[in-house]
Structure 1
């Protein structure tokens, strides 16, 4: 995930500058200390808000209370209590049947009395919150609103009669939704992966049924001399399913067994192992295709048919490569890099977009929330998805599944994610310590995929021990067509500036067949030009946190100017985001609050932008810490606030009042902004 975190050093000096009677340092001195040189006439003392009121106070119990009202804001609930509340909500009059809501007819539900939703239209309308100001986003887009009377803009639906749409068009501009039939098969583990399984066997990386749990233990039983304390590596070995034959050079330097064990010889074709007695004529046809592709367990239950699922992988020359050179690439951004945000960036000049990082295991389990990260809008003409996994078979099967089910132009494997929950599962940055595992994953994925495969990494795992420069040529040979290098180590996170000299060195070592992209600290068009011109072998630069704070950076780069954007123009961008969000998440109450949540997550980054006209030195740098300042108007001042309560005020200007008892805490708290607040209303 690309988070936002300037350096922490010198944070005390920001408050010192704002203290009464302190002398004003020169702008160049402030820049040297990574403090934003805001013009003196706009500086103000820090707001004197109460921490207890703004962020809640812990009283030693499981509840947070406001010191002024002593009202419980949040409490921990047991699973039984949550389940009881869900059942009560289902029986509530507000839980109206979707079919009844869409048509406005209580008899429209096909389940009649067996439906678990409420069918009482009058009772629902009596409790429905008042409509919001504005026009339904679906009606404004000349589409039929699929939410009917539950839409918070239902009063504007009278315009739908002029649309003459007999069938509601629900999210017609979005693709890559999860098919319900496919989801059920994924739940039951009955989806076949012929291409991936065949390639895994060719590479000697297959894991048979039950191998995850047993073969690692069998390996230790058959070879007691290796039965030493392995810590995490032992768990990974069992999970990987190591073969019973020891492999030379499969041990780590510290003496523990490597989790990348492979058989000495590649197994024979699976065609010899397939049962030759199919049960049905249709299965016989599928079986013949399986024989060509090396599918082992070709039973009717585990076959999922689609028109492309058994096709052979095209030759490398047939894969349409993507030319990243000179294109503006929006990085995959966890939480904030959702589809509405990507639409904003596309409208402001981004050329290439990539979905949020999705975990391979969750995709293979058919989790709808994870598949939602693969959604693509029609405006995204060059679009990729980013996946993260720890093992070759998991990644290869995910790649095959996405390749045949989704419309994407490339697939990116994240081998640089620094988040603990990912690293602890041996994925993301943890792979940087396992080059053999990296090789197996890239080879298995690239040989399975019919589209370009790209890889994103950091310089290394530990600070001061960079290693990607020694793997650049190998990554190309393994099958990747592009490599993105974030100029920081995993241990470093975002605490220092990116090492672009190291990125340049890696780009110079890369073969012609591998495009190298740089990533880190790009916050203006001058940064982008400098980094791309300093190293001609660098194809382009990926823009991450800079787009979070100011998405109009793409416009600045294309027009090669510093845009002193007004507060009104920024507010219009927020309006577009809300409109896109309501179209994506829904215009009913749930969709409105989901849109509000992601808007607040985004506002937790945008407040770090300092208007160009307020600075003594331009452009703003990404690592500058802003002092407390006034804007040129009230809206600009509000947008500069670091208080979550003020972010909620902005959301209310766009989406109406928040529900009673509403709370918000930014999901990704920066290590340099560790006083992130929880605002309650």
Structure 2
């Protein structure tokens, strides 16, 4: 008899004498992804202390459980480069401006002679017949001893999409865009027709900050007129509020009319003089944008002029740290995701011109509705970041999301993320200021129910987010910061919050804003029952999408998809293809793609095929007992051993270099070095 919380796998697929596998700690998955040197390797005790199975399996002590659970902190993934490198200019077929003074190699013939053999990327139809790797069979492509000559039958994913490969001779799929003259000289090929077609479609990634703007940010010379004006307004109101109160005398001032637009000013009324209200008081009185900023450079966009978000019935992929990169978002879009959001970026890092942070705003044209998520605690830094995003990427960003839900200590202790749930006045200043800086670009807010268990407070301020703070959409994750993922999401409370927002909208005849819920959505049945019972406009998919990216197809088609192993493998092939076009097709790009593909597989292996289950729908928190699949590939895809994830990556990216290793984020997976 299997314990409660165990996935009900049919008896014929169960493996004997094996307990349910442990589910990776999703709390730890939200932790730091910094690659601090020396932090990723497990101790000798951890390496030797693996679980036994069958009668020999003993109970673990608390110390053992603590050592195995959680995340491998400080993982480090160094770049793997070619042994003989080549100057970027020469590699792209050009001439280096530095000539002999260049520190990089210019010997093209010598580079090509030493270059590893071309990799071969499989076509979609080949996936149906690809051999399944066997444990211990590391050399999947069988091409380790092949000649370094380019394979003219190979296909370069970048060239196939755009007609030009920016990596030139350094590309590991060089045979797809090279030709040899009669004298044996290699020449790069460009498909002018495909390049023109690609440019017309806008198939390349967008939202690349210019070098000039990045230099201004790094030197702290980038102008922020809107943020500066807003900051002066805050200082002026605070200073006025701290002055002694003047003697009472009747004067006439204007107060905003509650029935007018947020920017409108009502009829004059006679009231006693008062000190100039602070921004907190302005927000409390729901004056909206009625107070003119000091030294405002331009006329501000009224809230009524912002883009209205008609998101009802649309599927939404949550912003996900590490794994929610552009290739994964493209994969989810191919399965039916309508709204995507980039990984959480820190406002201070954007303002510092961080290359890594600005890479998070990259967008592929296939993303129909795309947003950028920010985290921070300071009003000025978040408003300034919103302003620079509007200036540099305003035409290619559909919304900016403020993260008020991140529970990890690293973020919470700085006053960011879910810490803002206990500081509503600061939250109001931030959203209000970001809305002003972004112009017509909407601001959305992602929340949790509260900070501590038993002290939910989202229902108190959610009705204010739209009419008072100028938020255009709200997402509510049905857990507190303290709960993380230890309890099921509280959809009854989500309904209470939705009802509170809709009640105020009805009472004051306010425009309706979309509200999305979140938590434990793992099937089409989960999704539509949550929508119906809670009244949300949709459910943001997070862990459900990580474990089964095809959940968006299930949602749209109102069905549970018994996806085959080969169909899942085709999705992995697509992820690898999207990874190569994003990270690059040179040696470093191939292994960056391999790293993030293994990150994705560290979630996807947790999927239990519904054809193996006694009861539907599957539940996200059920632990699966050890089982075999309906074929060898399905069994391999269910492996929690990170070495098997590397073997799967080798089916599409060639053999992993000896110098490369993958350390899983979760300690509950195997963490031996990979070959």
TM class, shorter-chain normalised? 0.7 to 0.9
**Whole-Å Cα distance in 2 between the matches of residues 624 and 641 of structure 1?**
16
| Pick aligned residue for 1:461 from 435, 451, 461 | 451
Query: For the residues of structure 2 that align with 1:46 and 1:519, how far apart are their CA atoms?
Result: 37
Q: Residues 247 and 355 (structure 1 numbering): CA distance in 2 closer, same or farther, change over 3 Å? A: farther
Residues 167 and 544 (structure 1), Cα distance of their counterparts in 2 relative to 1, 3 Å cut: closer
Match of 1:118 among 91, 95, 105: 105
Say if 1:644 and 1:679, in contact at 8 Å, map to a contact too. Answer: no
C-alpha spacing 1:677/1:162, structure 2 compared with 1 (3 Å): closer
* Structure 2, unpaired ranges of 5+: 20-39, 51-72, 122-154, 180-187, 245-273, 280-291, 506-510
> What do the CA deviations read for 1:103-157 (whole angstroms, capped 9, x no partner)?
0x6xx11121232322122332233222111310022225211111110010221
Deviation (angstroms), 1:662 = 2.4
How many pairs does the alignment contain? 535
Query: What is the aligned partner in structure 2 of residue 500 from structure 1?
Result: 491
Partner SS for 1:492: coil
Instruction: Report what 1:677 is aligned to.
Output: 671
Partner of 1:412: 401
- Asked if structure 1 preserves the Cα contact closer than 8 Å seen for 2:241 and 2:276, the reply is no
2:191 to 140, 144, 163: 163
Partner of 2:655: 657
- Distance in 2 (alpha carbons) for counterparts of 1:498 and 1:184: 44
Pairwise CA RMSD: 3.3
Inter-CA distance 46–179: structure 2 relative to 1 (3 Å threshold): farther
Counterpart of 1:275 in structure 2 is none
Give distance in 1, aligned partners of 2:367 and 2:243: 46
Change over 3 Å in CA distance of 1:155–1:147 after alignment to 2? same
Secondary structure of residue in 2 paired with 1:485: strand
Distance in 1 separating the partners of 2:42 and 2:366: 45
**Structure-1 separation of matches of 2:85 and 2:236:** 49
**How many Å separate the matches in 2 of 1:472 and 1:331?**
19
CA distance in 1, matches of 2:430, 2:670: 37
Name 1:145's counterpart in structure 2.
Answer: 165
Q: In structure 2, which of residues 34, 38, 43 is the aligned counterpart of residue 58 of structure 1? A: 43
Partner of 2:32: none
Secondary structure in structure 2 of the residue aligned to 1:680: coil
Cα distance in 1 between the residues matched to 2:190 and 2:349:
43
CA contact (8 A) 2:240 2:277 kept: no
From 427, 434, 443, the counterpart of 1:438: 427
Note closer, same or farther for the CA distance 1:165–1:127 as it changes in structure 2 (3 Å cut): farther
Give the SS at the match of 2:630: coil
Measured in 1, the distance between the counterparts of 2:293 and 2:157 equals 47
Residue 116 of structure 2 corresponds to which residue in structure 1?
Answer: 129
Question: Contact between 2:158 and 2:165, CA under 8 Å: does it hold in 1?
Answer: yes
Correspondence for 1:154: 174
Which residue is 2:229 aligned to? 198
Q: Aligned partners of 2:234, 2:42: CA distance in 1, in Å?
A: 56
Contact persistence 2:240–2:275 (CA under 8 A) = no
- Within 5 Å, give how 1:170-249 maps onto structure 2: 173-204=204-235
Report how far residue 418 of structure 1 moved.
Answer: 1.0
Tell me if structure 2 keeps the 8 A contact 1:388–1:428: yes
Distance 1:493 1:448 in 2: 32
The alpha-carbon deviation at position 319 of structure 1 amounts to: 1.1
Q: Deviations over 1:49-83 (max 9, x none)?
A: xxxxxx976348xx99999xxxxxxxx99x9xx9x
- The whole-number CA distance in structure 2 between the counterparts of 1:46 and 1:664 is 29
2:382 to 373, 395, 401: 395
Decide whether aligned partners of structure 1 residues 674 and 642 sit closer, same or farther in structure 2, where only a CA change above 3 A counts.
closer
1:532 and 2:531 correspond:
yes
Q: Is the 8 A contact 1:195 1:294 kept in 2?
A: no
- Structure 2 distance, partners of 1:462, 1:127, is 59
